[in-house]
């Protein structure tokens, strides 16, 4: 589980995925899928979250639709889950956008604004009135009042009120989104603007109702296995901190659920490190003031959609997933490749890369193990065929990419790293400033990670950050140095 993901919504999503997987591997798939909302909330059962059992079932139905890989907004209310289950097995490729919104689950929060509460004392000092530069707040009849047509939501009045009587009301998903891609439309209905969305997944973890949902590829992947295809798993380094087992046991467990082979994406990270260190050295010799990394898919979406001016400063080196998939496809041209991801953004990257067929996130993998009753800690280990370096495996942690690049540079060429540990509005302003000025006073290698803590803090992880970091660090410490891997 990522740093902020609410447990209850995670458990609901996992239970539905478990039921979907068991249904597809069973003998009565369509009917079993149709019955999921009723099986989870049978007649007369307790209604734990909503006003009535019918509301609960409606929300569960929408979660099943997302689990089947469909855009909930595009599905008609009259469509049966059994028909959608059948449609999912006939799909040739996943839908374009990785996120969908459950209107049934959305609480349609009140608009974000600055609000004066009943704690206001109408004090003589009136600091709120004097601090407002826009003339938006006045004391009338012994209480402060805000003219929202003038208010810019700067929050200065919130900071100066001695009684903490003024508060900023936020909409969690809107507040979390760094690019304003999720907001209410003219009818007050929350929508995702996919033209703006960078698939960072922050809205997924922020919503306390679990209304923003990832569309799953799990049915598509199992279908390929059922058809006898050779399906190869490519594991992002962050996965090594997710489950209570050794990396070798994890590999065996993945083989046990039907994958033909398992490859560490750290193999591709070693190539990324070599290419990026060479590129950094070349750019600095040419006189460029700074270079940003390019391995975070959400950051790459941000550049393409919102900060095109920073493109000349972004590394042209491909991501570890790109190089790993290239290797796997070259060795197995007819294989189906599945990237195991800690985040949403890699699904966007996969859709732009013909060598990556599907993406399975860590939540879905965990549900798959539960569905098949696989105890990963009890499996016998299987060694990885190709070794990768400590630095490559540490790509999952903030600062890991810059450290890896420096490990291949000579002493006089070492980068001065500046790390952006999570994309937010302030980080985006900084990146725009760096691009405009053509320099970064904080360093000449800017490592950008969309998620705080790096990939280990991604929106699709299933372990808390600190124990995940400890487990991954142990694996990194057992790994060879990059100098012995990359020549």
Q: What pLDDT, on a 0 to 100 scale, did the predictor assign at position 107? A: 81
Q: What pLDDT, on a 0 to 100 scale, did the predictor assign at position 6? A: 52
**Model-wide pTM > 0.85:** yes
Q: What are the two backbone dihedrals, phi and then psi, of residue 153, each rounded to the nearest 5 degrees?
A: 55, 35
CA separation, residue 253 to residues 221, 406, 469 (Å): 16, 35, 21
Using CA atoms, how far apart are residues 278 and 246, in angstroms rounded to an integer?
33
CA separation, residue 49 to residues 8, 101, 104, 171, 291 (Å): 10, 18, 13, 20, 48
**Do the Cβ atoms of 120 and 80 come closer than 8 Å?**
no
Q: What pLDDT, on a 0 to 100 scale, did the predictor assign at position 3? A: 41
Q: What pLDDT, on a 0 to 100 scale, did the predictor assign at position 7? A: 63
Beta bridge partners of 449: 421
63's tokens: 């979660």
Using CA atoms, how far apart are residues 466 and 409, in angstroms rounded to an integer?
30
Closest among 131, 112, 252, 248 to 169, alpha carbons compared = 112
DSSP structure string for 225-282: HHTT--EEEEE-GGGGGTSSS-HHHHHHHHHHTT-SEEEETHHHHHHHHHHHHHHHHH
How high is the mean pLDDT in each 10-residue block of the chain (487 residues)? 57 94 97 97 86 92 96 93 97 93 86 92 94 94 93 94 94 95 88 96 92 96 98 97 96 97 98 98 97 98 98 98 98 98 95 96 96 95 93 97 97 95 97 97 97 95 95 96 89
**Max intra-chain CA distance, the chain:** 78
**Could you give the domains of the chain?**
7-106+181-216 (no CATH), 113-169 (3.30.70.20), 228-484 (no CATH)
Q: What is the CA radius of gyration of the chain?
A: 24
């Amino acid at each position: 589980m990522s740093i902020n993901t609410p447990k209850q919504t995670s458990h609901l999503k996992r239970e539905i995925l478990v039921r979907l997987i068991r249904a597809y591997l069973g003998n009565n798939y369509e009917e079993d899928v149709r019955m999921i909302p009723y099986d989870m909330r049978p007649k007369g059962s307790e209604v734990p979250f909503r006003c009535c059992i019918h509301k609960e079932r409606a929300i569960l139905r929408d979660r099943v639709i997302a689990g089947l890989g469909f855009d909930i907004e595009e599905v008609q209310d009259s469509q049966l889950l059994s028909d959608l289950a059948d449609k999912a097995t006939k799909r040739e490729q996943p839908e374009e956008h990785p996120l969908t919104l459950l209107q049934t689950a959305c609480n349609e929060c009140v608009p974000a604004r600055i609000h004066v509460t009943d704690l206001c004392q109408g004090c003589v000092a009136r600091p709120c009135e004097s601090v407002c530069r826009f003339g938006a707040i006045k004391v009338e009849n012994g209480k402060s009042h805000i003219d929202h047509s003038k208010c810019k939501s700067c929050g200065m009045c919130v900071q100066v009120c001695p009684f903490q009587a003024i508060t900023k009301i936020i909409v969690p998903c809107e507040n979390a989104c760094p690019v304003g891609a999720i907001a209410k439309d003219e009818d007050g209905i929350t929508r995702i603007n996919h033209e703006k969305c960078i698939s960072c997944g922050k809205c997924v973890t922020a919503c306390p109702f679990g209304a923003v949902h990832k569309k799953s590829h799990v049915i598509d992947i199992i279908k390929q296995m059922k058809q006898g295809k050779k399906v190869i798993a490519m594991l992002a380094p962050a996965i090594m901190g997710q489950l209570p087992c050794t990396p070798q046991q994890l590999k065996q467990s993945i083989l046990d659920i039907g994958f033909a082979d398992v490859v560490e994406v750290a193999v591709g990270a070693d190539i990324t490190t070599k290419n990026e260190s060479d590129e950094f050295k070349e750019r600095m010799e040419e006189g460029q003031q700074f270079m940003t990394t390019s391995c975070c898919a959400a950051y790459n979406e941000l550049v393409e959609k919102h900060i095109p001016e920073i493109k000349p400063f972004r590394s042209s080196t491909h991501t570890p997933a790109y190089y790993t998939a290239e290797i796997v496809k070259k060795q197995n041209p007819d294989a189906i490749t599945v990237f195991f991801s800690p985040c949403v953004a890699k699904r966007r990257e996969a859709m732009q890369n013909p060598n990556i067929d599907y993406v399975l996130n860590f939540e879905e993998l965990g549900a798959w193990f539960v569905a098949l009753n696989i105890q990963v800690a009890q499996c016998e280990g299987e060694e990885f065929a190709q070794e990768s370096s400590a630095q490559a495996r540490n790509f999952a942690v903030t600062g890991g990419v810059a450290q890896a690049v420096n490990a291949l540079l000579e002493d006089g060429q070492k980068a001065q790293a500046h790390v952006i540990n999570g994309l937010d509005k302030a980080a985006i302003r900084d990146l725009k400033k760096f691009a405009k000025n053509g320099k970064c006073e904080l360093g000449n290698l800017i490592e950008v990670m969309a998620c705080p803590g790096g990939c280990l803090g991604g929106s699709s992880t299933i372990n808390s950050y600190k124990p995940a970091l400890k487990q991954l660090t142990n694996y990194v410490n057992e790994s060879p140095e990059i100098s012995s891997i990359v020549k």
